[in-house]
Amino acid sequence: MARTVRVAALQMGTTNIWDERPHTLERMLRLLQLAAEEKVQVALFPEIAFTTFFPRYYITDEARLAAFFEHGDVATAPDTRAVFDRARDLGIDICVGFAEAAPEGDRFNSCVYYHAASGQVLAKYRKIHLPGDVEPFPDPDAVNQLEKRYFKPGDLGFEAFRVPDLLREGDDATAAGHAGDQACDSQASGTPNGAVQGNVTGDPIFGMMICNDRRWSEPWRVLGLQGVEIVLCGYNTAGFAPHLWGASKDADPEEANRLSLFQHKLCMQAHGYTNATFSVSAARCGLDDGKYIMIAGSCITDPEGRIIAESKTMGDEVIVADCDLDMCRPGRTRTFDFGRHRRVEHYGRIVQQTGVVEPPLLTPGTGSVTKLKPATVAATAAAEATLLANDAPTEPVEAAVVPSTTPAPPTNPIQILLLNPTKDPTLTTALVSAAIPTLPADVSLTGLTVPTAPPAIFSRADALLAAAASLSAALDSTAAHDALVVASPLPGGNVAAADLLVAALREQCPGKPVVSALAAGVAAARALGGERVGLLVEDVGAKAALEDALLGACGGSSPFHCGGGIGVFGGAMPCGHAGAAAIAGVESCGLDELRVGAGGGGGGVEVEAEREHSLADDHDGPKRLSTPEADAVADKVLDRICAAARVLVADGPKKGPRADALVLGFCAPVPAAKVRAEVAARVLRCGDGGRKLPVVDPVVAGVQQVIGLVRMAGRMAGATAAGGEEAAAAAAAVGEATAGLVV
């Protein structure tokens, strides 16, 4: 008798945001009953099975968000235990996906394997490849995917596990008979006994992944290397969602749905084949909330990559198949005998590099091809070998490409986190959007909003609370980033929290560059020839706090400035201490008078009304002004900014020293590049021959500064060249750090 396990994918159709938990549980229990009638032994529920797919929504209310998560032991919690109790009564093992609120306070997209015979959770997996974004798309019609906002990446790895009590009578003897065959196979292939097929005891080997994990080859191969025989994967996958998939809004929705379904099946079939394993995938599908299309396509595939059972509807459905685990054996002993055929000495790049790093241009500065000598096998092998730290040195080989005259890019792309210590996501989006056009190709910038931060800083307590909330939010993301930029100055006086946060992050992230955008902006302005720096702010309410912060950034002792330790609060701003000579002043642009709608907590002026993110109102997007109205507002904004800039550079009895460089201290409803260009064109330095005024975007300055620091640190760490080459690298880093700051 073959080693056979009967499995089922329990597909679930539409689940709306207003659906009550008892209704959802009733559907799940019905699916289990149908599976029992089919004598199913293992049943798979979808990802986040107990609720709708809530990561599509932008949720700011903590209590509302917490309601989507399961707290405590999911198998015994009051809101979920009915499913596990019924599975135990029916004798069906189940794998269930859910949003997990872990005891330590972290949140994960998780699933568990529940063993009916013992009444225990046998294994847990937490989703590792979180798709989507932290911030929502600006387009109100976009389908968002905010898993990176609500979940931490999983921390349990891809661990295969054996499941007892599944094989039918007589299967153990068959499996034992295979043990001798496996021993012969292992001797032939040079692998340890049992490594070819695994599972010499007869217990099937399972592995779990969730949704987006299935698109990545690495989880499959890690499980394949453990001899996995059945991979379980629940999913919620959008159909037509052009923003989410990076497609055109003009795409045909039906074709987009077909493509999404094709890609899902492709992943399950191809990866199952290349790892000689069965796969089971269960969808949460249908039309959620009457507008969010989720694909179906629940299926079971065999080790040859064939679909042996699949869904026929877009609703609740049970898809059943028998998995003869001995079918995994041919692939593992021949085509995909890992022990004989894998060549790990050439795979170093997979674990040493995250983003794409392209080869250098054949002719630097052009896209043309130069006539090259053919690359030799030795050259290719040497290049591969350098990726492995423990490889022996290789003999020098003749280069197969024309060497570049520019420094080589780092092996790993530079990952930068831009932290906005306010609760306004629209501000984060605007800041990131302004900086992205200035980034080199090998740099990635991610914005992070702190939804629990106070809306404004009016006291030391406010500043401390904001810094603490920001630090807690940031520390979850620091491990995945090479450098951090704290967006300051900010509306409402949040620069106080930002400076405290910079000091705390430097303490918690040793070795990683952490900079304040304000300090970087002022430093850039002075480096570009500005002996006296002027700061343009949104309104008079921000002027006092930001004037004080500017003094601190220039080297003075400021009530809100955090130097090497904890900031000193209280008291009036001193007038004669160090750094004052570098300050030309702070000038309000009076943009509060033009306010059409403000982001949460006193954010920057916007030409859009604040987006309402209530779950009860269909999530309507921003109410936009018409194009003529928006253009009129933009013109008025630019006029007021330029007028304030003229005050800072003019002489007069009520004016201080003239500014010869400006820093933008706010995020206007006009692209930052346009603001810089207009000010540079319309405001000239007084008494300076009409030379254009440097105008610095502090966020861009901060991002470019940490790029240079990361590159410089990498060059210093790996330097083996002479001092002249190090000096050239340092000079290149300085050039990179100042690129794109000014018009």
Please report the DSSP string for 480-535 in residue order: T-SEEEE--S-GGGTHHHHHHHHHHHHHHSTTS-EEEHHHHHHHHHHHTT-SSEEE
User: Mean pLDDT throughout 685-713?
Assistant: 78
Residue 281: its pLDDT value, please? 99
pTM of the full structure: 0.55
In the predicted structure, residue 81 carries a pLDDT above the cut 50? yes
**Residue 364 belongs to some domain of the structure:** no
Residue 529: its pLDDT value, please? 74
CATH number at residue 122: 3.60.110.10
Residue 679 Cα to chain centre, angstroms:
35
Distance between CA 737 and CA 703 in Å, rounded? 8
Last residue of a domain, one of 361, 387, 408: 408
Q: Give the pair of three-digit tokens for residue 494.
A: 């949040």
Lowest mean pLDDT among 368-372, 503-507, 653-657: 368-372
**Residue 361 belongs to some domain of the structure:** no
User: Mean pLDDT throughout 355-364?
Assistant: 79
Contacts of 254 (CB under 8 A, 6+ apart): 240
User: Mean pLDDT throughout 31-52?
Assistant: 98
**Residue 350 belongs to some domain of the structure:** no
User: Mean pLDDT throughout 544-555?
Assistant: 56
In the predicted structure, residue 106 carries a pLDDT above the cut 60? yes
Of 202 and 563, which is predicted with more confidence? 202
Residue 577: its pLDDT value, please? 33
In the predicted structure, residue 629 carries a pLDDT above the cut 70? no
Is 543 one of the annotated active-site residues of the chain? Answer: no
If phi > 0 it is left, if psi is from -120 to 50 it is alpha, else beta; for residue 331 that is alpha
Of 460 and 664, which is predicted with more confidence? 664
- Among candidate residues 70, 100, 111, 127, the one labeled active-site is 127
Q: Is the same domain home to 419 and 394?
A: no
Residue 607: its pLDDT value, please? 37
The predicted-structure confidence for 498-547, as pLDDT tens digits, reads as follows: 667 788 888 888 888 998 888 888 888 888 877 788 878 777 666 766 66
Residue 428 confidence class, pLDDT cut points 50, 70, 90: confident
Query: Is residue 78 within 8 Å of residue 123, measured between CB atoms?
Result: no
Q: Is the same domain home to 397 and 427?
A: no
Name the CA dihedral angle for 178, 182, 184, 186, rounded to a multiple of 10 degrees: 180
Q: Is the same domain home to 319 and 441?
A: no
Distance between CA 344 and CA 351 in Å, rounded? 11
Q: Is the same domain home to 569 and 637?
A: yes
C-alpha closest to that of 48 among 85, 123, 100: 100
Residue 656 confidence class, pLDDT cut points 50, 70, 90: low
Q: Is the same domain home to 293 and 258?
A: yes
What is each CA distance from 194 to 182, 275, 328, 333, in whole angstroms? 6, 16, 13, 11
Lowest mean pLDDT among 51-65, 164-178, 450-464: 164-178
Query: Is residue 174 within 8 Å of residue 1, measured between CB atoms?
Result: yes
C-alpha closest to that of 32 among 83, 68, 105, 80: 83
The predicted-structure confidence for 374-393, as pLDDT tens digits, reads as follows: 444 444 344 344 333 333 33
Contacts of 154 (CB under 8 A, 6+ apart): 108, 109, 110, 125, 126, 127, 128
In the predicted structure, residue 413 carries a pLDDT above the cut 90? no
**Residue 389 belongs to some domain of the structure:** yes
- What is the domain count for the chain? 3
Residue 613 confidence class, pLDDT cut points 50, 70, 90: very low
Query: Is residue 474 within 8 Å of residue 468, measured between CB atoms?
Result: no
Q: Give the pair of three-digit tokens for residue 204.
A: 């099937």
Q: Is the same domain home to 304 and 383?
A: no
In the predicted structure, residue 637 carries a pLDDT above the cut 70? yes
**Residue 351 belongs to some domain of the structure:** no
Q: Is the same domain home to 194 and 262?
A: yes
Q: What is the mean pLDDT of the chain?
A: 76
Identify the three-state secondary structure at position 66. helix
Q: Give the pair of three-digit tokens for residue 730.
A: 């340092």
**Residue 306 belongs to some domain of the structure:** yes
Q: For the chain, what percent of residues have pLDDT higher than 70?
A: 66
What's the number of CA atoms in the CB half-sphere (13 Å) around residue 306? 6
**Residue 517 belongs to some domain of the structure:** yes
Residue 546: its pLDDT value, please? 64
Distance between CA 730 and CA 711 in Å, rounded? 9
Last residue of a domain, one of 408, 430, 452: 408
User: Mean pLDDT throughout 79-96?
Assistant: 98
Contacts of 362 (CB under 8 A, 6+ apart): 368, 369, 370, 372, 401, 402
**Residue 260 belongs to some domain of the structure:** yes
Amino acid sitting at position 136: P
Question: Please, is 620 exposed, middle or buried when counting C-beta atoms within 10 Å of its C-beta (0-12, 13-18, 19+)?
Answer: exposed
- Report the DSSP beta bridge partners of residue 485: 418, 515
Last residue of a domain, one of 345, 363, 393: 345
Q: Is the same domain home to 403 and 424?
A: no
Lowest mean pLDDT among 473-482, 492-501, 724-733: 724-733
The predicted-structure confidence for 294-314, as pLDDT tens digits, reads as follows: 999 999 999 999 999 999 999
Q: Is the same domain home to 220 and 283?
A: yes
Q: What's the CA angle centered on 507, arms 501 and 508, to 5 degrees?
A: 85
Is 211 one of the annotated active-site residues of the chain? Answer: yes
Is 39 one of the annotated active-site residues of the chain? Answer: no
Contacts of 365 (CB under 8 A, 6+ apart): none
Q: Is the same domain home to 70 and 97?
A: yes
Highest mean pLDDT among 293-297, 407-411, 550-554: 293-297
**Can you give the residue range of the structural domain that contains 394?**
375-408
Contacts of 503 (CB under 8 A, 6+ apart): 562, 564, 565, 566, 567
Q: Is the same domain home to 632 and 580?
A: yes
Residue 161: its pLDDT value, please? 98
The predicted-structure confidence for 125-181, as pLDDT tens digits, reads as follows: 999 999 999 999 998 889 999 999 999 999 999 999 999 999 865 554 444 444 444
Residue 399: its pLDDT value, please? 33
Residue 697: its pLDDT value, please? 86
- What is the SS3 assignment for 329-349? HHHHHCCCCHHHHCCHHHCHH
- Among candidate residues 95, 111, 211, 285, the one labeled active-site is 211
Residue 570: its pLDDT value, please? 28
The predicted-structure confidence for 195-252, as pLDDT tens digits, reads as follows: 444 444 479 999 999 999 999 999 999 999 999 999 999 999 999 999 888 888 888 9
Q: Is the same domain home to 454 and 383?
A: no
In the predicted structure, residue 715 carries a pLDDT above the cut 90? no
CATH number at residue 462: 3.40.50.12500
**Other beta carbons less than 10 A from residue 688's beta carbon:** 13
User: Mean pLDDT throughout 623-652?
Assistant: 69
- Report the DSSP beta bridge partners of residue 11: 317
Residue 326: its pLDDT value, please? 94
Q: Give the pair of three-digit tokens for residue 713.
A: 């640190």
